[in-house]
Amino acid sequence: MKLDYATFGRLRRLAPVLDDVLNAGEVEHADQAMDLALLSQLCLQLFDTYDEQHPVEIAQARADAVESQ
């Protein structure tokens, strides 16, 4: 699934906050928390779009995830 320019830009801008949180081992301030919320919304939108385009693959990935637990 190809990302449009705007989505790619948003993802590139928000991705470093995840790295910061992982390096620190904590959410250090409110701006990070807000950026994490925006990143999660963007990831969910990307997932939903991918799921609409590739429902069989997502169904298989879900089944594989349940099986591995």
pLDDT tens digits, 4-54: 999 999 999 999 999 999 999 999 999 999 999 999 999 999 999 999 999
DSSP H or E run through 43: helix 30-53
The whole-model pTM stands at 0.84
Say what percent of the chain tops pLDDT 90: 99
pLDDT confidence bin for 69, thresholds 50/70/90: confident
Q: What single-letter DSSP state applies at residue 1?
A: -
Per-residue model confidence (pLDDT) at position 5 = 96
DSSP H or E run through 66: helix 55-68
| Paired tokens of 12 | 């590139």
